[in-house]
Amino acid sequence: MSCNFTFAKNKMSQNGLRILIVNAHSQANAGDHAIVLGQLQLLEKIMPNARVTITSRTAWLDRRTLAFRGVRVIDPVFHAPCASKGKWMPIVKTLLSLALPLPAWIFLRHLRQADLVMACGGGYFYSNRSFPGFTFWQNYLHLRLAVLFKKKIVFFPQSFGPFANPWSRRLLAGLIKSDRVRTIFAREPISLSILGDLLPAAEQKGKLRFCPDMAFYYSPGPIAAPAGISSQPRPRLALALRDWDFPAQKNRSVKKKKWEDYIAGVLAVCRTLYQKQGASFFIFSQAQGPSGAEDDRRLSGYVHARLRESIPSSHLCFFKTPVGAAPDTFIQLLRQADMLITSRLHAAIFAILAGTPVVVIGYQHKSRGVLQTLGLESCFLSIEEMQGESLFRLCAAVLQDQDEWRKKILCPLSEMRETIETEFKSVFLNCKMRVR
């Protein structure tokens, strides 16, 4: 992986601040990995002597990338279903991890030694079920234990909600009310509003704050542009789609109809853009796990096969990357595109980092909210309401005025990075910790 960040071992003194970052997801999702790398680059700049430990749901995968940077990667307090195959095996592994709690003891040892606990950025505090699932409990438990151990807690920028049950709201509300939780950053205004509803007004001042997604702070290193794309005709469109199961819909036939409308709309737009503008397309998967529900490769293959029925191979490419590929790979890939159509928030952020216009089919409010902070909300369509005609109109408008959209994208980036640095410097100073 190309990355400018390193915790040089000769910088690590025995007196360095010990930071435990909990609830990192997995390097199998390049977006989540970009968040982690952005966080580490920030800490390297403002707290260069810090000693960092991170929990990851796929510690075996993330450890290979982060260990030589001086970052220790450990398992969560228990195994939540993610990387196991089959219907029952994930649950069996979860129960075994609760019965044989070696990861829990390792986690508790690092927690006891930590000077500061930081909740990793992302979007993991939500629940689509009638009762919080294993992943929600895993993420909640890490922070509840930090409160129990009387640790200072800071939330990196993240999204909160939706909550399909009162339990998840109550659990989160009880957690953030603790005086051990010093600062909670929301990465978009919708989540900030949700937090405001959970926390009494008298406790909100200074605790609830806005800060951009940490992937915007990520600075990619030099990496060769992927081969096989630059020869495609223009306009050149990238596709990165999530296989969403529409959890808000309880009727199975309605779920199926929504999914079919979503995919049919994307296919129709691609065919029309090829017929009218001679557009070419390349498809990639930003997320390749760790669970089957989070692996975009199957849907990517399906969309590619369907497009091959009406678009020649000279105008169509299925770009495959290994699991755990660096965010740099996707950013370089998107620099060769004229536009991205995506239902993945961080694929959209990668496009923005690459200076490429983007149209986002959002499945949760986090996508709308992040685009809103960039002044790009007009590039958003809800996956629940999306139709092929509305998607085509938006794509055609963006393609017609690419230069103007590129200007809109590039202007806010430096300002967002400055905001991230300023906000975290002030937080660490308020926590009475030395910052550079």
Domain definitions of the chain by residue range = 9-219+414-430, 236-400
Do 236-400 and 9-219+414-430 have the same topology in CATH?
A: yes
Per CATH, which fold does 236-400 belong to?
Answer: Rossmann fold (3.40.50)
Mean pLDDT value across residues 378-387: 90
Q: Which tens digit of pLDDT belongs to each residue from 388-430?
A: 889 999 999 999 988 888 888 877 888 999 999 999 999 888 7
Confidence check: pLDDT of 6 > 50 = no
pLDDT confidence tier of residue 433, bands split at 50, 70 and 90: confident
Does domain 9-219+414-430 fall under CATH 3.40.50? My reply is yes
Is residue 324 pLDDT above 90, yes or no? Answer: no
- Burial letters 364-400, b for 16+ CB under 10 A, else e: bbbbbbbbbbbebeebbbebeebebeebbebbeebbe
pLDDT band at residue 89 using 50, 70 and 90 as cut-offs: low
pLDDT at 7: 38
The pLDDT of residue 175 is 96
In this predicted structure, what is the pLDDT of residue 28? 94
Which residue would you say has higher pLDDT here, 155 or 374?
Answer: 155
Residue 306 confidence class, pLDDT cut points 50, 70, 90: very high
Res. 5: pLDDT tops 60 = no
| Greater pLDDT, 202 or 66 | 66
Please, which pLDDT band fits residue 8 given cuts at 50, 70 and 90? very low
More confident residue, 334 or 84: 334
Q: What is the pLDDT of residue 330?
A: 94
pTM of the model as a whole: 0.91
Express as a percent the part of the chain with pLDDT over 90: 68
Q: How much is the pLDDT for 15?
A: 55
Model confidence at 3, pLDDT cuts 50, 70, 90, reads very low
pLDDT one-digit tens code per residue, 205-244: 889 999 999 999 998 877 666 666 778 899 999 999 999 9
What does the mean pLDDT of the chain come to? 89
pLDDT value for 271:
97
Mean per-residue pLDDT, 142-160: 97
